[in-house]
Structure 1
């Protein structure tokens, strides 16, 4: 994985970051595979107990984000996106490591995520210690009618 060329810092995000988060999501996911969430879905989940938004900032610009949810002793990475122009700089790995470490610090014993089969991020998840544990057939629905499987990955974490 390449190293980050510019200083990127992570900070907790909130609803005031939604415009920038939606810009990153639109650029990162587009509408090819049906992976992106709507603004109302993001706004609706943010106030829920156990939900965390983390933004990756470079100066005043948000270049990536993660959205996760913790319930009992498990955490789920709901979304992770980085601007395509910033791919392969280590920003996604930084966000992923932050998710795992925050989960571990909170006493979580297992973290998991779902990703579209064929998504290049799968290699990052495998490198970070996530292992495949399931498949949801035809989970993602593209606007053109195509369907794509979701792969479920998990990792046991211990404090």
Structure 2
């Protein structure tokens, strides 16, 4: 991962993650995570391909691999590019990459009321757990986290 790619990730993060939900990671958190060999990132341009040259990214994923399974840590698509299938392409790539690394399951966790739940369910993800009051919002309120999993 080079600095240009990290800049692209952060540009998507800044655009895609509403501060009201306090879900965005910092540049340092992303960089530290990617320092581990078992953490992988994928960038996507608006045309569904990896960005070339200095082209901006329209979305990204961050995944952590473990023996036999992978966890989708983050997925983001710039709001102006939502509804065009890029999230689905990213999830398909996550699953294909996970299979190629020997995983047979992919997990993710999301806040209750996340509109991306429809996409996850359409890709076969099913709820398997719930963490009560896991997310703390800037106004002090709390939301549950829902864990989803899919066999690949």
Fold shared per TM-score above 0.5: yes
Report what 1:70 is aligned to. Answer: 65
Q: Residues of 2 paired with 1:88 and 1:74: CA distance? A: 28
Of 104, 117, 122, which residue of structure 1 is paired with 2:117?
122
How big is the alpha-carbon RMSD for the aligned residues of Structure 1 and Structure 2? 1.3
Report what 1:5 is aligned to. Answer: none
Report what 1:42 is aligned to. Answer: 30
Structure 2 unmatched ranges of 5 or more: none
Is contact 1:139-1:147 (8 Å) kept?
yes
1:140: Cα distance to partner? Answer: 1.4
Of 10, 13, 34, which residue of structure 2 is paired with 1:22?
10
More relative contact order, 1 or 2 (CA 8 Å, 6+ apart)? 1
User: What is the SS of the residue equivalent to 2:25?
Assistant: coil
More strand by share: 1
Structure 1 unmatched ranges of 5 or more: 1-12
**Segment of structure 1 superposing worse, 52-61 or 14-23:** 14-23
Q: Residues of 1 paired with 2:45 and 2:95: CA distance? A: 19
Report what 2:96 is aligned to. Answer: 101
Q: Residues of 1 paired with 2:3 and 2:131: CA distance? A: 30
Number of residue-to-residue matches in the alignment: 145
